Chains A and B, each alone.
Chain A
Amino acid sequence: MSITRESIWAALPSTIKGTPLHLSYDPRTNRLVYPSNKAVILRSLSDPSSSTQFTGHTASTSVAKFAPSGYYIASGDVTGNVKVFDSSSTTEDPEIVKGTFPIISGRINDLTWDSDSKRIIAVGDGKERFGHCFTFDTGNSVGEITGHASQINAADIRSVRPFRAATAADDAAVVWLAGPPFKFVKAIRGEHTSFVTDLRFSLDGAYVVSVGMDRRIVIYDGKEGDVLARVDGAHDGGILSVASGKSEDGACRFATASTDGSVKLWEFKDSAVSEVFKWKVADDHLSGVVFTSTTTVTAVSLPGDIYTLSESSATPSETLYGHQKSITAVSVTSDLKSIYTASYDGRVVQWNAATGEAKLVSGSGHSGLITNIVETGGKFYTSAWDDTIKSFSAEEFTSSSLSTPAQPKSLTAAGEYLILATETAVYTYDLSMKQVASWSSSSITAVSANSSVAAVGSQSGAITLLSVPDLKPLPTAIAPLRAAVSTVSLCPLTDSDGRLLLAAGDTTGKIAVINVTDGSVVTTRWAFHTARVTSISWRADGKYVATGSLDTNVFVYSVDKPAKNVKTLGAHKDGVNAVAWVGEGKIVSVGADACVKLWNVAL
C-alpha cells in the first residue's frame, strides 16, 4: 500500500523576454541545471526522462550554477536568497542544503563560482548593493562588488591565478575586480552603448567577452581588462547570452545567443575573434546558451525549448520540449501509449508513456489556459480560455474550431457528444461541433458525464443531474455539498450492485461519493485533502480513485474500503492540477510546477 515515484518529466527553464538565462552544464554527469518556476531542475541530456527537482526555494528561482568540482550547486531566487545544495541529491532523498544566504534585496541575476569551488559571486538587482562575494560554506564575505549604478546582469571569475572578476550591468559598463578578496579596480565605460547582458572569461583566462543589447561583442585582456577588440553588429538583434568553451584541438571559443533566434560560434585569434559557425535555431528569441562538449552547444529559447546544436548541421539536431508554465490538463490515450498534457499558456505536449520523450502538438493551437483534454471518437478535444474548443489527432491540431458562448469551465466527453460547462450554462455538442442542446443555470463550476447522464456542480454546493444529450433535469435529488463544488467525476461503469457512482470534490478538500441512480450518499470519508480538490480520476475498473488538490498532495482512495487510502505528500509545489490513471498500477499527475510526474501505486 504505497505510492512511489517512477519518474519526473521535467519542466522547461523559466525565461523572461529580454533577460539572459544563465545555464550551467556538468560534464561528469552530463546534466544541465536551470531555474524553473520555484524549483531548480537537474536534467540529464542523455536521458531526458531522468531529472531531479530541487524544491528548496520559496520564491521563483532565477539562476543555478554547478560548482566546477561538480559536487555542489548554487541557486538564486527573485527575493535575493542564494542556496547551496549537494548536486548528488535526488528527489527521493531529502535535498541536502549546505547553506542559505540572503545576498541582496532583489532578483539574483547571475551566480559564478571560482575555480577552487570555494567562493561565489552573486549579482542582481538590489537596493543597497548589486552583488556580493562570499564563501560557499559559511557565507563569509570575501570582497565587495561595487562600481555599478544599476542592476548587474552577469558576473564571472577568471579560472586561473591571478584571480580577476568582471561584472556587466544595465548602466552599459563593465566593472573589473581583483582579488580575493575582490575589490573594485576600474569601470570600463563607452564600449557598450546599451545594457550589457552577459560576460564570460575564456576557459584559459586569456580573454573576457562581453555582449550587449547594442549587438556588440567586446573582447578584453583577461588579466588587465584592457579592451582588445570589438565586433559591431555581431547579430541582427540584441545579444543575450555568451558561453565559453573549447574546440577539439584545444582552441578557446565562445558562443553567442541572440534575440534574432540564432547562435554563433566564435574563435579567439590573437587579439581578435572570427566567426566559425552559425545556427538558425528558432523564430523566437534565444535566452541562453552553454557548451555541452567540444562540438555541441545547448541553447534555450524564450518558450523554454532546449535545443542541441552540433557543427554538422545548421539547424538543431535535437530539441527537448515540455511545459514552462503550470500544467492544467492531462489525458492518457486509451491504448496507454501516450500522455497528453496542456498548460496555462495554451501549449499541448504529447509524451511517450514509456520513454518520456516529448513532442509538441503543432498547428493552430490555443492562446490561453487549456481547461481539459478529452478523448472521444478517435480524436482529442480541448477547451481553453481563449473561448474556443479545438480538436487534434496524434500530433497536430485540426483547423476546425468552435467559439464558445462564454469562457469554458470544464469539458467532458459523453459518448458521441461533448458537454461543455460555462459559468451560466451547459451545452451539448456533437462531434462535428454542432450544438445539440443547452441548459441554463448560475455559478456552474464543473461537469462530468457518460452517454446517458451528466452531473453538474455549482458554487453553492448543489449537484444537478441532467439527461444526455438533451440536457433535461432528472428527478433524482442529491443533497448539496457543504462547500462549493470544485470538481465532479462519474465512475466510467456501473458496479456489480447496479450503482453508478459520482465523486464530487469541494473547495475545502472533502470528497463525497454519491450513488447517482438513487441520489444516496455512499461515503464522505474521503476528507484527507486540506484545500480545493482539483481533480478526481477513476481507475477503469471503478475500484479506486486518484485525487489531486491545491494542497500539493495526491491520494488514492479505495471504493470497497473507503477508510483506506494511500498518499504522496508534496507531489507538486503550488498545487496538483490534474491526475489520471495509466493502466492499473500507475498514475500521472501534473501541477503548477510545470512537471509531469509518474507514480507507481501498490495497492
Chain B
Amino acid sequence: MSRSGVALSNECQSVFQELKLGKSLKFIIFKLNDAKTEIVVDQKSTSSSYDDFIGELPENDCRYAVYDFEYELGAEGKRSKICFYIWSPDTAPVRSKMLYASSKDAIRRALTGISSEIQGTDFSEVAYESVFDKVSKGAGSH
C-alpha cells in the first residue's frame, strides 16, 4: 500500500503483462480514478510513434505511464527497454501532484522488469532524445 492509501487495480497488472510479455502493446498510460482510490488504465496503444505517446500526456494533469522504448545501436542491433514515467507537469494542480507522488510506490513496486524510471515535469524531460540519453547509459544497454 502506498502512503496515500491508493491501491492498484487488477487490470493494471494484466495490461502491463501484455506489454512486457506479449509485446503487443507499445505504451500504457495509467491514472487515478475519479474517487482517487485506485490506479486504473487510462489508455493503451500499439502505435509505434513516440510523438503519439507524448501527445497523449495531458498538459495540465499528472499521469503514470509505461513505454516500451526501442532504439538502434548501429551495427549492434536493436535494443528495447521498458521505461516507467511519472508525468507531473508544473501546471498541474498541487493536489494532483501530491497525490501522484505519494501513490507512486503502489504502482512502481508492483511492476517488475522496468529498466528506467523517467520523471517528467515538462515536455523537454520526456522528449525522445532525453529519454534515449537516459536509457542508453545504463548497464547492459550496449
Is B78 part of the binding interface, using a Cβ–Cβ cutoff of 8 Å? no
Asked whether B109 lies within 8 Å of A144 as measured between CB atoms, the reply is no
Smallest Cβ-Cβ distance to B110: which chain A residue: A149
Smallest Cβ-Cβ distance to B109: which chain A residue: A149
Asked whether A149 lies within 8 Å of B13 as measured between CB atoms, the reply is no
Asked whether B109 lies within 8 Å of A148 as measured between CB atoms, the reply is yes
Asked whether A184 lies within 8 Å of B13 as measured between CB atoms, the reply is yes
Given A171-B1, A172-B1, decide whether A146 and B112 contact each other with a Cβ distance below 8 A. yes
Residues of B within 8 A of A150 (CB): 1, 105, 109
Q: A188 CB to closest chain B CB, in angstroms? A: 9
Chain A, 177-206, CB within 8 A of any chain B CB: 183-184, 186-187, 189
Is B106 part of the binding interface, using a Cβ–Cβ cutoff of 8 Å? yes
Chain A CB count within 10 A is highest, among B107, B110, B111, for B110
Chain A, 262-320, CB within 8 A of any chain B CB: none
Bound-state Cα–Cα, A147 to B107, Å:
9
Residues of B within 8 A of A148 (CB): 109-110
Asked whether B17 lies within 8 Å of A183 as measured between CB atoms, the reply is yes
Asked whether B7 lies within 8 Å of A189 as measured between CB atoms, the reply is yes
Asked whether B111 lies within 8 Å of A146 as measured between CB atoms, the reply is yes
Q: B99 CB to closest chain A CB, in angstroms? A: 16
Residues of A within 8 A of B13 (CB): 146-147, 184, 187
Bound-state Cα–Cα, A187 to B13, Å:
9
Asked whether A128 lies within 8 Å of B112 as measured between CB atoms, the reply is yes
Q: B67 CB to closest chain A CB, in angstroms? A: 19
Residues of A within 8 A of B111 (CB): 146
Is A129 part of the binding interface, using a Cβ–Cβ cutoff of 8 Å? yes
Q: B1 CB to closest chain A CB, in angstroms? A: 4
Residues of A within 8 A of B109 (CB): 130, 148-150
Given A149-B105, A171-B1, A172-B1, decide whether A187 and B10 contact each other with a Cβ distance below 8 A. yes
User: In terms of DSSP, what is the predominant structure of the interface of chain A?
Assistant: loop
Is B45 part of the binding interface, using a Cβ–Cβ cutoff of 8 Å? no
Chain B, 62-114, CB within 8 A of any chain A CB: 105-107, 109-112
Chain B, 1-19, CB within 8 A of any chain A CB: 1-2, 7-8, 10, 13-14, 17
Bound-state Cα–Cα, A402 to B72, Å:
78
Residues of A within 8 A of B8 (CB): 147, 149, 187
Chain A, 140-159, CB within 8 A of any chain B CB: 144, 146-150
Residue count of chain A within 8 Å CB distance of chain B = 18
Residues of B within 8 A of A149 (CB): 1-2, 8, 105-107, 109-110
Given A149-B2, A172-B1, decide whether A186 and B10 contact each other with a Cβ distance below 8 A. yes
Asked whether B7 lies within 8 Å of A129 as measured between CB atoms, the reply is no
Residues of A within 8 A of B105 (CB): 149-150
Residues of B within 8 A of A579 (CB): none
Is A554 part of the binding interface, using a Cβ–Cβ cutoff of 8 Å? no
Bound-state Cα–Cα, A466 to B92, Å:
81
Residues of B within 8 A of A168 (CB): none
Smallest Cβ-Cβ distance to A189: which chain B residue: B7
Is A173 part of the binding interface, using a Cβ–Cβ cutoff of 8 Å? yes
Chain B CB count within 10 A is highest, among A146, A148, A172, for A146
Residues of A within 8 A of B17 (CB): 183-184
Residues of B within 8 A of A184 (CB): 13-14, 17
Residues of A within 8 A of B106 (CB): 149, 171
Residues of A within 8 A of B14 (CB): 184
Bound-state Cα–Cα, A150 to B107, Å:
11
Q: Give me the interface of B with A, judged by CB distance under 8 Å.
A: 1-2, 7-8, 10, 13-14, 17, 105-107, 109-112
Q: What are the nearest 6 A-B pairs in CB distance?
A: A171-B1, A149-B109, A129-B112, A186-B10, A149-B106, A184-B13
A-B contact pairs, 8 of them (CB 8 A): A144-B112, A147-B8, A148-B109, A149-B109, A171-B106, A184-B17, A187-B7, A187-B13
